[in-house]
Amino acid sequence: MAEKKTVIVVGGGFAGLQFVRKLDQRQFDIILIDKLNHHQFQPLFYQVATSQLEPSSISFPLRHIFRKQKNVKIRLAEVKAVDVDTHTLHTSIGPYSYDLLVLAIGCSTHFFGKEEIRRNAFSLKTTYEAITIRNHILQTFEDIITTEGPEREALLNIVVVGGGPTGVELAGAFAEIKRTILPRDYHRIDFSALKIILVEGSPRTLNSMSPTAGEASLRYLRSMGVEVRTETFVQNYDGEFLQLSSGETLRTRTVIWAAGVTGNTIEGIPPEWKGPGNRLKVDRFSQVLGTSNIYALGDIAYMETPRYPRGHPQVANVAINQARNLAHNLNRALRGSKPKPYEYRDLGTMATLGRNKAVVDLPFVKFTGFFAWITWMFLHLMLILSTRNKLIIFINWAWAYITKDTALRLILRDTHNNHSENQTSNRVS
């Protein structure tokens, strides 16, 4: 029997997990490298940030996931650089040699070169960032009670930048908290002046979805009291004053940036490998152009096809199916079979905006409202990895629907920290 090839997979997201699961255990030794010891279910980060779910409900330990795959080694490390000539990956715990390298390193929040905004705004790309937002929002509600003057105005404005799925889901969730939770948690405290503001640069929300979805989401948000500013861009944010392209200046201590992403990078990757959005250019078989043994999957991969000449959408379904296709192709290669090119089959997109409110775009039908909301919940539950977590999330959702409450509003922080408990000290840089 031929010696097993060593495959290094960087990233334990949707793409990395699916690839490792589908690769032939008898033919490959796999080293899975990630900075975290768990897989994060990104589509539900906003529910952690808005106290609807606990982080453990959408987090899955990597060692538990692969406990039955003896060919998989898991290493917690930060990747420092790749040496393509010696086939070596340099990490914070030492170098690793590979026969094949699979990069599933995903994307990070894109601030479009605005460094001051990056320093002062919140982002939502990790579980930790979701917890940070939750702590900050809950502390803000407490601070509103005892704060007067201009500082109170800053606390009363919650701004979400970006009208994509993450932005509208956050804005809708905050609007529901204002309507159903705050009056019960804070007796005799008037939160009517609390504003949820959504800023979007295009003419409508959910610009990547159908006009039906965009119009419905805008209608839902405004009916819930969200102030939506379309065709408006953020010029700057210094931690207190948000400057908009319309000339308006908002005083706020809370800006959540959901306006774009850019591909993560590793030192040693030459500029010619990169395409739009800092993504790695790959062929129809997920192989990085100009390489013989390096592949890229998911959000970081820029693959042009006849149907998608500008690359595929950066969604979980693309990442999962690219990973499966690559794993099957590598398995086929060992049997002497020809690889199959990848082509994305659009299964649809969706977003939820609150209780009984969602929009769904499927290839054959588009719909909104209660049935769309049920569809959104069902499909997201099916993507959750474990039966236990599916059950926990379903119970949380059912309880929240019946009671209009979640009772998960915990501020978790180090009480011995001497830093001031203000917006700046809580922010993720």
The CATH number that applies at residue 176 is: 3.50.50.100
CATH of the domain at 323: 3.50.50.60
> Do 222 and 297 share a domain, yes or no?
no
**Do residue 315 and residue 216 come from a single domain?**
no
Q: Do residues 228 and 362 both lie within one domain? A: yes
Does residue 155 sit in the same domain as residue 250? yes
Asked if residue 139 and residue 102 are part of one domain, the reply reads: no
Residues 6+ apart with CB under 8 A from 214: 204, 205, 206, 207
pLDDT of residue 190: 85
If one counts the domains in the chain, the total is 2
Starting from the edge strand earliest in sequence, which strands make up the sheet with 249-251, in order?
234-237, 241-244, 249-251
pLDDT, tens only, 185-201: 888 888 889 999 999 99
Is 0.75 surpassed by the pTM of this model?
yes
188 shares its domain with 210: yes
Q: Are residues 321 and 411 located together in one domain of the fold? A: no
> Would you state the structure tokens that stand for residue 22, as one six-digit string?
């589908």
Boundary (domain end) residue, out of 334, 368, 397: 334
**Would you say residue 423 has pLDDT above 50?**
no
**pLDDT at 70 > cutoff 80:** yes
In-domain check, residue 393: yes
- Is position 42 within any domain? no
Query: What is the pLDDT, as a whole number, of residue 257?
Result: 96
CB-based contacts of 304, cutoff 8 Å, min separation 6: 310, 311
**Backbone phi and psi for residue 62, each to the nearest 5 degrees, phi listed first:** -65, -40
Q: What is the dihedral angle through the alpha carbons of 350, 354, 355, 358, rounded to the nearest 10 degrees?
A: -20
66 part of a folded domain? no
User: Within this chain, do residues 251 and 298 fall inside the same structural domain, yes or no?
Assistant: no
Both 287 and 244 in one domain: the answer is no
Which tokens sit at 119? 């320093």
Residue ranges of E strands in 62-172? 72-76, 79-83, 88-91, 94-97, 100-103, 107-109, 122-123, 157-161
Same domain, 137 and 243: yes
The answer to whether residues 185 and 302 belong to one domain is no
Q: Is residue 68 part of a domain?
A: no
Which of 286, 304, 334 is the C-terminal boundary of a domain? 334
For residue 52, being part of any structural domain is answered with no
List pLDDT tens digits, range 232-270.
999 999 999 999 999 999 999 999 999 989 999 999 999
Containing domain of residue 87, as a range?
5-35+77-109+261-334
User: How do residues 354-413 score in pLDDT, each as one tens digit?
Assistant: 889 999 998 888 999 999 999 999 989 988 888 888 899 998 888 888 887 776 777 877
Residues 198 and 253 in one domain: yes
